[in-house]
Structure 1
Amino acid sequence: MNDTDQPDDFNHVPPHDLQAEQAVIGSMLLSRHIIDRMLVIVEPEAFYRPTHQVLYATIADLYGRSRSPQIDPITVGEELARTGDLNKVGGSSYLHNLVQAVPTVSHAEKYAEIVRDKALLRAVIETSNRAAARAYAQQDEAAEILDDAMAEFQGAATGTTPLEVKLSVGDRWATFLDELETGKDPRALDTPWHDINEVVELKPGQLITVGAATGGGKSLFGMNLASHVAIRRNRPALVASMEMGGSELMARLTAAEASVDLDRLIRRKLNDHDWAKVIKVSERMQNAHNFILDDSANLTLSKIRARLRWMASHGHPAAIVVADYLQLMSPEGASSGKNRAQEVADISRGLKTMAMEFEIPIVALAQFNRGAVGRQPVVSDFKDSSSIEQDSNVIVLMHTPPKPDPDDPETRHFTDRSGEIDLIVAKNRNGISGRIVTLAFQGHYGRLQSLGREY
């Protein structure tokens, strides 16, 4: 090999153990009691063969749907047939072959550890290959290549075995005492609105759903919250937007940060005074590398999960996710005959699971049914699904107070509350419910603001 050639090792078959993969899935088909242990050790992506990824994910999905699931080659085969994947994985006969390939179920954890270790080796090789390719191209600084590679190596090394997980009261007690002494949960995030902070804490593993009618301010809420976490608290934040493109998101963010009229930003018609304000916040925006705006088309749970893993691999694990908005998300794979309400229910449940998986709060923005227009909303007003109420730890309903109308006997005596918006804390699993917090609605600046406080 001369000095300019890449080593032949880059062409080797990636490490994998198909027998161990078969033994893991076969063990899960034989005994549902070991599935919990398998789910802790490996994820679907750890399997080298794509058919094994599908089989593992299907078993995990079936197992998670019921309190007493029936997992065997027949039930899994029926589920694969329903989703159209049965022939893709080799048919029913392959499921029975997997069962026969298990030497002993009692060694299932060892088989899973082999699968996990091979996946980690592949991750090391992939990271090394990417770093080597960038080094050969000489298009980046050496320090940058090394930093990115180290971040990816660190991300690959974050997996823990069941023995490393600290779940007992004894393990948790010292940390809990520290939280009591400091007077707050150090993992919790605040919002930019002091009135909301008095009622709600955004904690890891929570699904927080914020509902509003069309044009009711939910996107402003999401962007203001994410920018507060990313820019003012310097914590990585992800906005997954199906509502707006990146350019519009940037316009809203700039309007809120620089106090520049949103309409002029969108139409690109800034005056000298506007430009002075934009330049003033330019350094702050240029340094917001941990604030990710993902406006990818047809966003799904898998795409958001992949983006979170990408952020972690680059050394910026997300502290919060804002999904805008829930009913616009695409279901995973084929529809499989489900109606939209069932699909939204799956998405809502998936967001809750993702929040727990990544130990972060996920804020899902959601739209009301048309029947909520003109009155104070309730939790049953969410469009397409009632399961949102069940899955959410916190629900905030946004309501614009009606204006007084001298010709309407019902509203003529109302107080004129133009420029205000009510946030109704309709559900708060770990705090006070029913509280109504009023914020200033500054739509021309793309932001919500606590009354009596500067932004």
Structure 2
Amino acid sequence: MVQNRYQDDDYLDQAPPERRRGRVGRVPPHSREAEESVLGAILLSRDATNKVMEILDTDDFYEPVNGLVFEAARRLFNESQAIDVLTLAEELRRTDSLERIGGHERLADLSQSVPNIAHADRYAAIVAEHSQRRRLISVSQQVTDLAMNLDRATETVIDQAERMMLEVNDEQAEGGLLPAKDLIGSVFEDFEKQGNQLTGLATGLKDLDSQLMGLKPGSLVVVAGRPAMGKSAFAQTVAINVAQTGGVIALFSLEMSKEEILTRLLSMVGEVNSSQIRAGVANRQHLWDKLIEAAGRIHDWKLYLDDSPEPTVTEIRAKCRRLRREEGLDLVIVDYLQLMPSADVSSSRNPEYRQQEIAGVSRSLKALARELDIPVIGISQLNRAVEVRTDKRPMLSDLRESGAIEQDADIVLFLYRPEYYAKDKDKEDVKNKAEVIIAKHRAGPTGKILTTFAKEYTLFRNHAGPAPPDVYQQTY
């Protein structure tokens, strides 16, 4: 091990919080040997340097002087300059750091401290692991300070503490400013892989998927419509299709109980008329058999239901984080936005607060989608302006109570069933027809597609017949 005369107690007390002695007097986790082996490998091998630079950052080094050496090496690496004892010493001298790290002698000692250059990535992993433990200690101390502050709401403290812990656990590089040129290669690799395949989560409605290319990770998808258009049924149809392919879904319903949702799912999956279920099926063997078969299919799905009254986005976020850790998570559905309280403003139901409240909800759901990197479907009501127009198809201006929903959403889908408004409901051009209007699509075309709505099962299906000429039109 290289002798480091700079690591005395006084120097430690001047180091950043995560490097100082803990509150109980213990030295935080670190491995001086691993840090020095990493630096030595950088001095001796370009291949080792490439591996190490992908794993570590300057802040991962416990010894501040080791961080100085690494930072100088990284500057040379980024400039495609050779890295050895001489060039690194010159770079450190240029920034007045050479004497602080121990001069030429220490660099020479580092170059001789590597047990095996081929194991450089393993040494780097040890350094990274200790760094993560120090960050965890630091965050734990911050959480203690938060909990001791009685002026903060307990719910806020729990949410903030959980978020801080998850950030420590996140092994992916944090977002930040990146040169566009560094992204070109990976983007074109994605283009080559995609071909005609979906780039997001399939809804199971093939014409909709061909328009949207699936629901993209990190996107907020708003499904809206007037009463009786099938908003909840549409979301539940998507949930069924995702669950059947092995996806994990969290469905939060503020309008229906878990038992009501499960009853509807049994009707949809078993294709048993919901009115027959309500009338009783225990003595009707063929219907009972259908429901038993449907229950067996649902039993094997990873579909989670929550009917908590007025859950806040904070509560939903905490439940989704927990589910993702335990099972994974592919889709979140919230039914519906206007029933959710927001922690951002007063909980008063005074209309003057509602626009701010719904804006806070939509903004938080968008943040949730980005944090979990999955699509979030939020169901929304429309205002009554639709009913006074001759054409009952919704428009973006019909979104109820807040333009923020339109602003935050990546995709806005409106549901329109012409049969509901038709005088002759048995006409072939309206019976069982349902339009899905893509009113907003941040990453592609808008337009509309036609589906079949089996109202006896409250189930959306792919449309089998020819579509009217104005359907499937795309607008860019």
TM-score in terms of structure 2 length:
0.59
Other structure's SS at 1:228 match: helix
Which letter maps to 2:323?
M
1:207-251 superposed Cα distances (whole Å, 9 cap, x missing partner): 1111011121000011110121122x2011111111110011001
How big is the shift at 1:165? Answer: 8.6
Rounded to whole Å, the distance in 1 between the matches of 2:262 and 2:319 is 19
Q: 1:296 to 1:167 in 2, by over 3 A?
A: farther
Q: Distance in 2 between matches of 1:223 and 1:230?
A: 10
How far did residue 157 of structure 1 move? 7.4
Residues 1:384 and 1:47: Cα distance change in structure 2 (over 3 Å): farther
Counterpart in the other structure of 1:258: 270
Q: 1:341 aligns with which of 355, 360, 371?
A: 355
Q: 3-state DSSP class of the match of 1:88?
A: coil
How far 1:295 sits from its partner (Å)? Answer: 1.0
Contact 2:412 2:441 in 1 (8 A): yes
Rate the CA distance shift 1:266–1:360 in 2: closer, same or farther, 3 A: farther
Q: Which residue of 221, 234, 238 corresponds with 1:221? A: 234
Q: Which residue of 1 aligns with 2:339?
A: 328
Q: Structure 1 residues 449 and 89 mapped into 2: Cα distance closer, same or farther (>3 Å)?
A: closer
1:423 maps to 436
Contact 1:212 1:368 in 2 (8 A): yes
Gaps of 5+ in 1: 1-14, 20-40, 56-86, 91-114, 121-154
CA apart distance, 1:267: 4.8
2:146 to 52, 68, 78: 52
CA deviations 1:41-70 (Å, max 9, x no partner) are 89x996654763798xxxxxxxxxxxxxxx
Amino acid at match of 2:414: L
CA contact (8 A) 1:404 1:416 kept: no
The corresponding residue for 2:47 is none
Whichever residue aligns with residue 251 of structure 2, its letter is V
* Residue 196 (structure 1) aligned with residue 208 (structure 2): yes
Pair 1:249 & 2:261 matched: yes
The answer on whether the counterparts of 1:189 and 1:202 sit within 8 Å (CA) in structure 2 is yes
**Paired residues of 2:413 and 2:440 also in contact (CA < 8 A):** yes
* Structure 2 counterpart SS, 1:322: strand
1:274 alignment partner, one of 274, 280, 287: 287
Q: Deviations for 1:1-55, whole angstroms, at most 9, x for unmatched residues?
A: xxxxxxxxxxxxxx98699xxxxxxxxxxxxxxxxxxxxx89x996654763798
Larger Rg belongs to = 2
Cα deviation, 1:383-422, whole Å, max 9, x if unaligned, reads 111111111111111112165548xxxx9xx975122111
TM-score by length of 1: 0.61
C-alpha distance in 2, partners of 1:45/1:301? 23
Q: Which moved more, 1:378-387 or 1:365-374?
A: 365-374
Shift of 1:183: 1.7
Return the match for 1:300 from 286, 293, 312. 312
In 1, are the aligned partners of 2:274 and 2:457 still within 8 Å (CA)?
yes
The within-5 A match list for 1:13-28 is: none
Confirm or deny that 1:364 pairs with 2:374: no
CA distance in structure 2 between the partners assigned to 1:236 and 1:186 by the alignment? 18
1:286 corresponds to 2:349: no
Bigger relative CO (Cα 8 Å, ≥ 6 apart): 1
Structure 1 residues 347-372: Cα deviation after superposition (integer angstroms, max 9, x where no partner) = 01111111111101111110111222
Q: Compared with structure 1, are the counterparts of its residues 399 and 51 closer, same or farther at alpha carbon in structure 2 (3 Å cutoff)?
A: farther
- CA drift of 1:321 comes to 0.7
Q: CA deviation at 1:265?
A: 2.6
| Distance (Å, rounded) in 1 between the aligned partners of 2:22 and 2:456 | 56
Q: How does 1:65-104 map to 2 (within 5 A)?
A: 88=151
Q: Secondary structure at the match of 1:198?
A: helix
Aligned residues of 2:252 and 2:307 also touching (Cα < 8 A): yes
Amino acid at match of 2:234: F
Query: 1:376 is matched with which residue: 390, 393, 408?
Result: 393
Residue of structure 2 aligned with 1:451, choices 439, 463, 466: 463
Instruction: Give the distance between the partners of 1:418 and 1:244, measured in 2 at CA.
Output: 27
Shift of 1:313: 2.4
Partner of 1:65: none
1:373 alignment partner, SS class? helix
Structure 2 stretches of 5 or more lacking a match? 1-20, 26-134, 154-159, 466-476
Between the aligned partners of 2:189 and 2:178, the Cα distance in structure 1 is 16
Answer yes or no: is the 8 Å Cα contact 1:166–1:172 preserved in 2.
no
Deviation at 1:376, TM superposition (A): 1.5
Letter paired with 1:330: P
Q: Which residue of 2 aligns with 1:125?
A: none
Q: Work out the percentage of aligned pairs sharing the same amino acid.
A: 26
* Structure 1 residues 371 and 195: CA distance shift in structure 2, 3 A: same
Relative to structure 1, the CA distance from residue 159 to residue 165 in structure 2 (aligned partners, 3 Å threshold; closer, same or farther) is: farther
Aligned twin of 1:82: none
Count of residues in correspondence between the two structures: 317
Give the counterpart letter for 1:379 in structure 2: L
- Separation of aligned partners in 1, 2:328 and 2:394: 35
